Structure 1
Amino acid sequence: MILIHSFTSILMLQADSSAAAPPPASGSAIVEMLQNSGPIALTVLGILALSSLFSWGVILAKLSSFGRARTQSQRFLRAFRKAGRLQEISAVSEQFKPSPLVSVFDEVYETYRRQTGGSGPPRNIVSLERSAQTAASEALTVMERRMTWLATIGAVSPFVGLFGTIMGIVDAFHGLGTAGTATLRAVAPGISEALITTAAGLVVAVPAVIAYNQFTARVREFGARMDDFARELLNSMEDSTLRPAQDPAEREAARGLQR
């Protein structure tokens, strides 16, 4: 009875001491795992860290450029619809340069000037349509710049993390074989490497994929807006609205050419 009572007392003291000991902080645990990681895991984490920094740089830059493009497009449309002449819009178009609509207008107006000298109805509306399509395509190409990197990072990062996972499991089995016994101390370093590289790959991939999908939708939206604006601009030229007024001498010269 005395031995049983003594053993029970020892167990209770050990339980109390383990309960009183504070749990390790999560931040210190992550730092400890990084310190215990091997060169392969550190290389994988370094690649993922650089990929994350680059993807976030692209994301922030695209958010800023798309925001400016949307704001300036709205302002340019208001100015376009209030203007009475094409020359008035051409004179102020540089103020709205971040807008892709400006590129469409400048290209169409330049083609119009080559056809008519800046006055009169357009002679070849098909040529103006092609100019609008070319300008819209070039503007979309500029807006899509570096977006493929987001798609690449979003697709590749999980596999890079998976590579670190596989190597961590290999290290865990190697530690198990070296120790000769199935103990937690033998497999813990390799398992921790596997888990942290897997988590890092997901942390890098998820924002890149979300940003790529959102930016792709915005690019399609800008493409639709440029098509609508091109039709509105060409309709205005055909309907003699927003067309530069001709003085009497120009009208007589135009009539003489028609004769």
Structure 2
Amino acid sequence: MDFLSNGGIFSMLESATIVVKGVLCLLAAMSIGSWTIIFWKLISLGKARSLVLKGNQIMEEADSLSAGLTAINRTKTSPLNRIGSAAVKEYRVLEKSAVSPSHKRRLIKDTLRRILRQRVSSEMKKLSSSLSFLATCANGAPFIGLFGTVWGIMNSFHAIGTAKSAALSAVAPGISEALVATAIGLSVAIPATIAYNFFLGVLGGIETEMVNFAGVFLNRIEREVSWVESASKNGGDSDDYSSAEV
């Protein structure tokens, strides 16, 4: 506490070598960047999670696919809105294709499954953006701090050789630089590691909800669209999409 209250850390930094100062500046930049991403992701992922949970509830309780998508469409920023809109757009294009009814049915189901998978992957890529920086801070900051530590120790040995004395006054500055670099490196890495793992868990939950939405969408298409019902009456096969993987 005395070290901090008496301004010792600032006087030590003033006398630090240019290499150690560079290491500390880099770690400070990494810390600012990681905390900025942490606060941003807490807000954006929290909002996305709320929207997908609400959207899935709407879709499950809706009387029809059209009613569910209309309700979800009121929230333009919802990932489910973009996923559903892309699937509906593709369905409308395929519905007009000049192919036999039996082939069209299989074509539409396979294409919708592929489109939904692609859109879920696209949304997950957007939501996971910038997390690689947190991973870099978590893995790289301790080693950058360690580099500052090693350099500080080397500086201490150099001071001993120059002064031809192992007195505390000769080695203390370098040791202080080394310890501060290590501490700052850990202070950057620890919150970045915790946040990265936490966000991975949140993203996993969001992805599960998106996959569930895609399964409900395919199941609703199977039950509600008139051309499917007609094909089923004529002996066409029927698949259950309630647990479909997309």
Q: TM-score normalized by structure 1?
A: 0.77
Say whether 1:97 aligns with 2:97: no
Residues 12-31 of structure 1 mapped to structure 2, 5 A cutoff: 24-27=2-5, 28-31=7-10
| Residue 168 (str. 1) matches residue 152 (str. 2) | yes
Provide Cα deviations, 1:62-95, integer angstroms capped at 9, x if missing partner: 1111111111122222332343344434444343
Matched, 1:211 2:195: yes
Equivalent residue for 1:54? 33
1:26-105 superposed matches below 5 A: 26-27=4-5, 28-105=7-84
How far apart, in 2, do the equivalents of 1:85 and 1:154 lie?
A: 47
Q: Does 1:141 align with 2:120?
A: no
2:176 corresponds to which of 176, 192, 195 = 192
Whole-Å Cα distance in 2 between the matches of residues 216 and 192 of structure 1? Answer: 36
Aligned-pair distance for 1:25? 4.9
Amino acid at match of 2:187: V
Residues 79-88 or 225-234, more deviating: 79-88
Write the distance in 1 (CA, Å) between the matches of 2:88 and 2:94: 10
Conservation of the 8 A alpha-carbon contact between 1:159 and 1:201: yes
Range moving further from structure 2, 37-46 or 191-200: 37-46
Asked if structure 2 preserves the Cα contact closer than 8 Å seen for 1:33 and 1:189, the reply is: yes
Q: Secondary structure at the match of 1:96?
A: coil
Identity over the aligned pairs, expressed in percent? 35
Secondary structure, in 3 states, of the residue corresponding to 2:74?
helix
2:237: which partner in 1? Answer: none
Answer yes or no: is the 8 Å Cα contact 2:160–2:170 preserved in 1.
yes
SS of equivalent residue, structure 1 residue 175: helix
- 1:167: Cα distance to partner? 0.9
- Post-superposition offset of 1:98: 3.5
Q: Which moved more, 1:132-141 or 1:80-89?
A: 80-89
Aligned length: 219
Residue 176 of structure 1 deviates from its aligned partner by: 0.8
Q: Offset of 1:136 from its aligned partner? A: 0.5
Could you tell me which of 98, 110, 127 is aligned with 1:126?
110
- Where structure 1 has 5 or more consecutive residues not aligned to the other structure, the ranges are 1-22, 247-259
What is the SS of the residue equivalent to 1:239? helix
Alignment root-mean-square deviation, CA: 2.3
Matching residue's letter, 2:4: S
The 1-side partners of 2:119 and 2:30 are apart by 33
* TM-score, L = length of structure 2: 0.81
The structural deviation recorded for 1:235 is 0.8
Which 10-residue stretch deviates more, 25-34 or 87-96?
A: 87-96
Q: Corresponding residue for 1:9?
A: none
For residues 121-170 of structure 1, give each alpha carbon's deviation from its aligned partner in whole angstroms, at most 9, with x where no partner exists.
x8321111111101101011111111111111111111111111111001
Distance 1:93 1:128, change over 3 A: same
Alpha-carbon separation, structure 2, partners of 1:79 and 1:136: 18
Residues 25/185 of structure 1: CA separation in 2 closer, same or farther (3 Å cut)? closer
Runs ≥4 residues deviating over 4 A:
none
Q: Cα–Cα, structure 1 residues 86 and 113, in superposed 2: closer, same or farther, change >3 Å?
A: farther
- Counterparts of 1:95 and 1:37, CA distance in 2: 58
